[in-house]
Amino acid sequence: MAIYKVEICGVNTATLPLLKEDEKEELFKRIQEGDMEARDLYIKGNLRLVLSVIQRFSNSNENVDDLFQIGCIGLIKAINNFDVTQNVKFSTYAVPMIIGEIKRYLRDNNSIRVSRSLRDTAYKAIYAKEALTKKNQKEPTIMEIASEIGIGKEDIVMALDAIQSPMSLYDPVYSEGGDTLYIMDQISDKKCSEENWVQDLVLKKAINRLSERERQIITLRFYEGKTQMEVAEEAGISQAQVSRLEKNALNSMKRYLE
């Protein structure tokens, strides 16, 4: 794999911008306010990060252009999900997501070969979606994407489905201070309700023995079905702290019930 080529996917890697930390912070504030121009600048300012990650896969036989495009998808996902309240650098959060996206691509691409034309259609659709979102300030429909790139909506749906990969609930999102946060920690469980817990495990007494903060987290997480990110925002603490308090509370309840 020609990892040191200057031009990848039409991008001259020798001229990629390098953002300072204060510039990144300012751009991300603008992104949170819905500034799509800032989002575009933030993506371009982190393409060096994608480039550095794909160098780890230099022994792969995959085309470097494909890996760069997949890495960019991971970068975009990281930007979409990054939370500044986690008190970690964006690169610390983004690198595992970029690596994970590339590894899933390599795993799936080795087992089931997706044609180059199908992948190209999917990439065109993804880029068109980003461009239309930036232009119209809202996520486009499949019909709008199809009209933008001149490809049938059925072909676009098929192409996007082809490059998707199943994701384990135990795939890590990021690690901080020895605590690993997993995908399952980001998912709301709408089926969890107080009635089910009381009926099955009789937890009221165990919950009442917890500290006020632990009770709040258990209530929000399992009674209201909120994600750790949502709990962190409501409680005014980091997601890592929510994870630790949740684990401590569950262990205390388990010991009491035993």
Is it the case that residue 172 has pLDDT exceeding 70?
Answer: no
Please write the tens of the pLDDT for every residue from 49-107: 888 888 887 766 677 888 888 888 888 888 888 887 777 788 888 888 888 888 888 87
Structure tokens at 18: 């390098």
Name the residue with higher pLDDT: 203 or 124: 124
Name the residue with higher pLDDT: 64 or 201: 64
CB neighbour list of residue 121: distance below 8 Å, 6 or more residues apart: 151, 155, 156, 159
Backbone angles phi, psi at 91, to 5 degrees: -60, -35
CA separation for the pair 115, 23 (Å, rounded): 40
Tell me how many degrees the CA angle 164-51-155 measures, rounded to the nearest 5: 25
Amino acid identity at 200: D
Name the residue with higher pLDDT: 186 or 85: 85
Is it the case that residue 200 has pLDDT exceeding 80?
Answer: no
Is it the case that residue 5 has pLDDT exceeding 80?
Answer: no
CA separation for the pair 207, 23 (Å, rounded): 45
pLDDT of residue 150: 92
Dihedral angle, C-alpha 239, 107, 40, 161, nearest 10 °: -100
CA separation for the pair 93, 201 (Å, rounded): 36
186 confidence band (pLDDT: 50, 70, 90): low
CA separation for the pair 134, 228 (Å, rounded): 29
Is it the case that residue 153 has pLDDT exceeding 50?
Answer: yes
Structure tokens at 64: 């470097």
Per the prediction, the chain carries an average pLDDT of 77
pLDDT of residue 39: 87
Please write the tens of the pLDDT for every residue from 121-151: 888 888 888 888 888 888 888 889 999 999 9
- Helix intervals (H) in 112-140: 116-136
- Residue range 207-222: average pLDDT? 84
pLDDT of residue 193: 45
pTM as predicted: 0.42
pLDDT of residue 173: 57
Q: Please enumerate, as own/partner, the contacts of 3-7 that have beta carbons within 8 Å and a separation of 24 or more.
A: 3/54, 3/55, 3/58, 3/64, 5/64
Per cent of the chain over pLDDT 90 is 2
Is it the case that residue 174 has pLDDT exceeding 80?
Answer: no
pLDDT of residue 26: 87
Q: Please enumerate, as own/partner, the contacts of 169-175 that have beta carbons within 8 Å and a separation of 24 or more.
A: 171/100, 172/96, 172/100, 173/81, 173/96, 173/97, 174/86, 174/88, 174/92, 174/93, 174/96, 174/97, 175/96
The number of beta carbons lying within 10 Å of the beta carbon of residue 105 is 23
CA separation for the pair 62, 1 (Å, rounded): 7
Is it the case that residue 117 has pLDDT exceeding 60?
Answer: yes
199 confidence band (pLDDT: 50, 70, 90): very low
CA separation for the pair 32, 72 (Å, rounded): 20
